[in-house]
Amino acid sequence: MLAALVGMIAGLVVAGMSTSVDLLHELFFNLQRGERLSARLTLNPVLALSVPILGGIIFGIGSELIKRWRPEREIDPIEANALHGGRMSLVGSIIVAAQTVWSSGVGASVGLEAGYTQLASGIASRIGNAFRLRRGDLRILVGCGAAAGIAGAFGAPLAGAFYGFELIIGSYSPSGLAPVGIAALIGFLVAHALAPAELGVVAPEKMNIAVHDLVAAATLGLLAAVLGILLMRGLALSETMFSRLRLRPALRTMAGGLVVGLLALLSPQVMSSGHGALRVAGMLDLSFRTVALLFVLKIVASIASLGSGFRGGMFFSSLLIGALGGHLLAVALTMLWPAVYFDPNAYAVIGMSSLTAAVVGGPLTMIFIALETTGDLWLTTAVLVAVIIASQVTREVFGYSFATWRFHLRGETIRSAADVGWMRALTVEKMMRQDVQTVDATATIGALREIFPLSSTAYVIAVDEARRYVGLISVADAHAAEATPDDPIKDFLHYREDMLLPSMAVKEAVLAFDRAEAEALAVVDSFTDRRVVGLLTEAYVLRRYSAALEGRRRDLVGED
């Protein structure tokens, strides 16, 4: 029931945001009702330049004010599910969605999918928290929001469902099948009823896949992986370059708007998300030179827009760039081998699917988008080949998708939305014993034996006169040692430089035990002060770690 509610809300979010962007385009660019900005072949030069520039200034000023009000970084659905158990800020999600609408509304070359999924997932998270859902169920509900948003945006419920599984939840689970599927279906129905979404991706006639088509599709998949990696690297370089300019946020986005405006003078189709430009059937009427120009300009516009600070995603942009690239490859192959026909329409679909799979990181999502938007099973076979190669090469060579690459640039180690937050939450402080036994490091073995007889405790921590950690000694070893009662205990201390900190996560603790080859380690407040605050044994850490892993497994398969 909650998934159905989230699906309905997500459909309203998609319809509302897309309508808002259309209204901004009509207002700012003097378009007619129902006309797409990126479908225009010509645009008033004054508007093409002034709107992105002024829009960038307003965006930057607004972002700076919001940063003062909310200095913390907003969490997206992938990070929320990976690190925070599905917890997201509703206010932050509304801000991100509004920024995305404004960015696309003033012509920045960004996709709306980031706003769709952010707001829909943020609302889902708030609903889940209100019903006090457990961690695993809350993560699934966040995935429902994103799945319904993508299903509504593309008119593809199967693709939306697998988007939720692959990118937001991080894995397929039987317990998530029903809610995610229901949310995606309802999100599609609501969005389609209010604001029908069509990509314009059609196959003019059923395509019989031959051997040369599969080889060409494999080649296109490889090229898509290379281009996808270059796009992500280029975005990181763009962000670095804008940062080095040390401009205020308003001037950064103004510069990005200027770049987009200048490119729009050559081709207005580079503006906004590219919904209007992504009409694959219409590409057949464009010259090779025109398609090649748009291909290059869209890449530059997308990198400049996101690199300068505009809000949005790369999903829609990747679709358009990939479709243009596939079209170019088909035309080029036909020129080289005139006796063999390569359908530009079909290869546009293959190109858009493979490039987006490389950039976004959802191979099954893209396969189902191709199938649902074209209805051609044979064409989807070629898409399957290209998507598999593009995804595998990108993963092996680069290792990141667009979202996880940006996490990497911020210093995070997230590779997917798989739940790893529990490992960070399970810290040494939560596992250690605080009732530790200590002894003066200048004491003798005889004194230790008298104070701590066998079976009284397992380990004793030696401290100096300032109560700082000196070393660890086993009581059993102290009683078994061949030593006179007057021998100092400092000769029998172990792990003098091996300590744990309360803030260490369970994974770090396990690695520390491995490095020290220890069965127990002292916990200190810091490596500088070395004040003893607790004791932790390897056996207990492994037991807690195994129990947590079993809990995650039970959540994944839906066991109570």
Q: Per the domain annotation, does 238 fall within a domain?
A: yes
Residue ending a domain, choose from 409, 431, 456 = 409
Domain identity same for 234 and 376 = yes
pLDDT band of residue 281 (cuts 50, 70, 90) is very low
pLDDT score, position 88: 94
Cα-Cα-Cα-Cα torsion 106, 112, 116, 122, nearest 10 degrees, comes to: -70
Domain identity same for 161 and 47 = yes
Q: Per the domain annotation, does 557 fall within a domain?
A: no
Residue ending a domain, choose from 349, 376, 409 = 409
Q: Angle at Cα 475 formed by Cα 470 and Cα 480, nearest 5°?
A: 120
Given a cut of 60, whether residue 200 has pLDDT beyond it is no
CATH number at residue 530: 3.10.580.10
CATH number at residue 51: 1.10.3080.10
Given a cut of 80, whether residue 557 has pLDDT beyond it is no
Per the CB < 8 A criterion, the answer to whether 368 and 378 are in contact is no
In eight-state DSSP terms, residue 412 is -
pLDDT score, position 343: 83
Domain identity same for 486 and 363 = no
pLDDT band of residue 304 (cuts 50, 70, 90) is very high
Q: Per the domain annotation, does 329 fall within a domain?
A: yes
- This prediction has a pTM of 0.83
Residue that wins the pLDDT comparison between 471 and 414? 471
Domain identity same for 38 and 170 = yes
Residue ending a domain, choose from 353, 380, 409 = 409
Domain identity same for 449 and 543 = yes
pLDDT band of residue 118 (cuts 50, 70, 90) is very high
Q: In terms of Cα–Cα distance, which of 354, 424, 414 is closest to 76? A: 414
Q: Per the domain annotation, does 559 fall within a domain?
A: no
pLDDT band of residue 245 (cuts 50, 70, 90) is confident
Given a cut of 70, whether residue 198 has pLDDT beyond it is no
| Cα distances (Å, whole numbers) of residue 373 to 208, 214, 343 | 18, 20, 17
Q: Per the domain annotation, does 454 fall within a domain?
A: yes
Domain identity same for 76 and 190 = yes
Domain ranges, residue 260: 211-409
Give me the DSSP letters along 109-148. Answer: S-BSHHHHHHHHHHHHHHHHHHTT--HHHHHHHHHHHHHH
Average pLDDT value for the chain = 87
Domain identity same for 86 and 26 = yes
- Please name the residue that has the structure tokens 């950690």: 469
Domain identity same for 177 and 235 = no
pLDDT digits (tens, 9 = 90+) for 377-393: 888 999 999 999 999 99
Domain identity same for 356 and 496 = no
In eight-state DSSP terms, residue 522 is E
Across 425-435, average pLDDT? 88
Q: Per the domain annotation, does 363 fall within a domain?
A: yes
pLDDT digits (tens, 9 = 90+) for 314-338: 888 899 899 999 999 999 998 999 8
Domain identity same for 367 and 479 = no
Given a cut of 90, whether residue 54 has pLDDT beyond it is yes
Round to whole Å and give the CA distance between 400 and 420.
17
Q: Per the domain annotation, does 206 fall within a domain?
A: no
Domain identity same for 311 and 174 = no
Per the CB < 8 A criterion, the answer to whether 86 and 97 are in contact is no
Give me the DSSP letters along 325-357. Answer: HHHHHHHHHHHH-TTS---HHHHHHHHHHHHHH
Given a cut of 80, whether residue 408 has pLDDT beyond it is no
| Cα distances (Å, whole numbers) of residue 49 to 46, 101, 257, 305, 308 | 5, 19, 8, 14, 16
Across 140-154, average pLDDT? 94
Across 264-291, average pLDDT? 73
What is the number of domains present in the chain?
Answer: 3
pLDDT score, position 321: 92
Given a cut of 70, whether residue 477 has pLDDT beyond it is yes
Across 192-204, average pLDDT? 65
Domain identity same for 250 and 378 = yes
Q: Per the domain annotation, does 199 fall within a domain?
A: no
